[in-house]
């Protein structure tokens, strides 16, 4: 099976984007939206999940991509904490966050699985396909003797 040609084809990005859509639905509610700092931090965390997956997809190697997926996972933790704070402030209820919780229960394993794959295959990636021909072997004693410089 061929790899994805665009980050938006990745299951992890699709799930993260669903989380982002659901996040924006909640943060656009008047009570939440009046707290500009809380709204901004929550939306930034949701955006960061998707953006880091997209940025990592453009990396040259699997270890580089894995680093960005790790950041996405941390942003997902940040998002969950932001919603906990919003619950404490009365901006959303536990029930309001049910869809996001369900999505995160799918997104965590997807991120972890992709991270495991990337870490298991560090030599794969775009760079390995672009390396080109091997450099010539070092000169032999015979070749060094014939040098004119």
pTM equals 0.80
Q: pLDDT tens digit string along 34-92?
A: 999 999 999 999 999 999 999 999 999 999 999 999 999 999 999 999 999 999 999 99
Amino acid 106: pLDDT: 97
Q: Which residue has the higher pLDDT, 138 or 28?
A: 28
Percent of the chain exceeding pLDDT 70 equals 82
Helix (H, G, I), strand (E, B) or coil at 24: helix
**Structural domain boundaries in the chain:** 13-124
Q: How far apart are CA 9 and CA 69, in angstroms?
A: 15
For residue 119, CA distances in Å to 47, 54, 114, 126 come to 24, 18, 9, 15
Are the beta carbons of 96 and 84 closer than 8 angstroms? no
Q: Is 19 a residue whose pLDDT tops 80?
A: yes
Q: State how far the alpha carbon of 92 is from the alpha carbons of 35, 82, 138, in Å.
A: 13, 11, 68
CATH number of 13-124: 1.20.1440.60
Cα–Cα distance measured from residue 36 to residue 141, given in angstroms and rounded to the nearest whole number = 73
């Amino acid at each position: 099976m061929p790899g994805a040609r665009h980050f938006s084809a990745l299951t992890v990005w699709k799930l993260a984007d669903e989380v982002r859509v659901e996040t924006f639905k909640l943060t656009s509610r008047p009570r939440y939206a009046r707290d500009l700092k809380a709204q901004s931090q929550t939306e930034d965390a949701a955006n960061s999940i998707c953006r880091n997956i997209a940025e990592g997809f453009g990396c040259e190697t699997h270890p580089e991509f894995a680093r960005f997926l790790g950041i996405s996972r941390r942003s997902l933790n940040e998002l969950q904490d932001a919603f906990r704070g919003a619950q404490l402030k009365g901006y959303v209820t536990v029930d309001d966050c049910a869809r996001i919780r369900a999505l995160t229960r799918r997104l965590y394993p997807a991120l972890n699985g992709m991270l495991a794959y990337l870490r298991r295959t560090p030599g794969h990636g775009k760079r390995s396909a672009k390396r080109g021909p091997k450099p010539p072997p070092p000169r032999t004693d015979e070749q060094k003797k014939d040098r004119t410089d």
